[in-house]
Amino acid sequence: MFEAVLLKNIDLPDGHLLATYEAGGGYQALAKVLREHTPDEVVELVKQSNLRGRGGAGFPTGMKWGFVPKHADKPKYLCCNADEGEPGTFKDRIIMERDPHQLVEGLAVSAYAIGAETAYVYVRGEYVKAIRRLERAIAEARGKGYLGAGVLGSDFNFTIHIHCGAGAYICGEETAMLESLEGRRAQPRLKPPFPAVAGLYASPTVINNVETLACVPHIVMRGPHWFRSIGPDKSPGPKLYCISGQVKKPGLYELPMGIPLRELVEDHAGGPLPGRRIKAVIPGGVSAPVIPRDGLDVGMDFDSLAAAGSMLGSAGVIVLDDSTCMVKVATRIIEFFHHESCGKCTPCREGLNWVVKVLRRIEAGEGAPGDLEQLDKLCKGIFGNTFCALGDGAAMGLRAALAHFRDEFVAHIEERRCPFH
């Protein structure tokens, strides 16, 4: 049985309160770094742990922190991406609702490491309960000296602000989030310059995900070698997996990084519904290319999934059984991306518009010869030609569906009906 680390408090009746968090050793990591470590030493601890960002890209966290100029003439900022707009993903919401002090402490330790005195938590606006719990946690922490001027009697000053998003998926992209924080329309910025050099208000900025920040206090207390002892050395640590779809026990699971997808779905989530078989799994939110049934032995980590032609992404695992029409699934996913495209890039804006039209025609039994070739061309025109990864995610997902389940698309076109309904 794997020992819960990030989720150890979520089932406690008062897990969101400061007293509960302190009783379990909360804020000891913050006290330890202020007492025993310089900021550079904390950065080095995180580098040694090999912690990779849990928001989707999997970039080494310590390396990202190391990019921040040490002697900048502008204030440094820490931004927490808690927008969590990826369908199939709900891990960050659970942390903020049930153990918000874990995030607050992670923010404080991380800000100390990079030399920031101000943090912004960009929260999905629909997460009303999470926002209220986080507001209370910040107030409690400030009252006990964990935030504010002279944290725990040190010369470290730290303030956390909450910013509520308005529902745009594109705000999950880090530079679009910065645009939104600055009061402008959320659209991706051209990089370079990267946020670590010129981010929020053109100042050095680090952007980390909720789960990433929650890992930091545990690395401080248990050490980087403990963290690297869990899962693959190149992608170590405990990992939160969100499981939904046609499975017996959907929910949030904390397990080692690298666990086989088959074990995650069949053993922990109970497998498919009675009388059904697993057809495919989307392993990392709808941006991740689908994995067919015969590929389920892949490890759930960044490198293994990349080698299998997919990605870990947000670890939003969506299980599809043999009653599922993949044409319908592909159409719904592309409709989502088309709706959420910010419109800045022509390949994404116009390309997805045409992809939606073709897919809807095929789904309705009105497809024509050449439609699949047209979809292939449209995906090629979108992929790699946009400011951010939204278009890439849409194109990769559709390409995978066409590659693994092309016969279903052909059947819709030739038979002019859905074989599953």
Domain ranges of the chain: 18-229, 238-321, 326-415
Angle CA 203–206–209, to nearest 5: 145
Which backbone phi and psi does 52 adopt, to 5 degrees? -115, 145
**Helical segments of 67-192, H only:** 91-98, 100-114, 128-143, 174-181
CB 127 within 8 A of CB 93: yes
Q: Which pLDDT value is given to residue 71?
A: 86
C-alpha–C-alpha distance, residues 286 and 242, integer Å? 12
Instruction: Give the CATH fold of the 326-415 domain.
Output: de novo design (two linked rop proteins) (1.20.1440)
pTM: 0.95
Q: Which pLDDT value is given to residue 271?
A: 97
Amino acid letter for position 87: P
Q: Which pLDDT value is given to residue 145?
A: 98
Handedness of CA 81, 24, 135, 139 (dihedral sign): negative
Taking alpha carbons only, the member of 168, 3, 10 closest to residue 85 is 168
Taking alpha carbons only, the member of 136, 127, 80 closest to residue 108 is 80
Taking alpha carbons only, the member of 217, 196, 192, 221 closest to residue 206 is 196
Architecture of domain 238-321: Roll (3.10)
Per-residue pLDDT of the chain (421 residues; tens, 9 = 90+): 789 999 999 999 999 999 999 999 999 999 999 999 999 999 999 999 999 999 888 999 999 999 999 888 999 999 999 999 999 999 999 999 999 999 999 999 999 999 999 999 999 999 999 999 999 999 999 999 999 999 999 999 999 999 999 989 999 999 999 999 999 999 999 889 999 999 999 999 999 999 999 999 999 999 999 999 999 999 999 999 999 999 999 999 999 999 999 999 999 999 999 999 999 999 999 999 999 999 999 999 999 999 999 999 999 999 999 999 999 999 999 999 999 999 999 999 999 999 999 999 999 999 999 999 999 999 999 999 998 999 999 999 999 999 999 999 999 999 999 888 7
DSSP single-letter state for residue 249: S
Instruction: Give the CATH fold of the 18-229 domain.
Output: Rossmann fold (3.40.50)
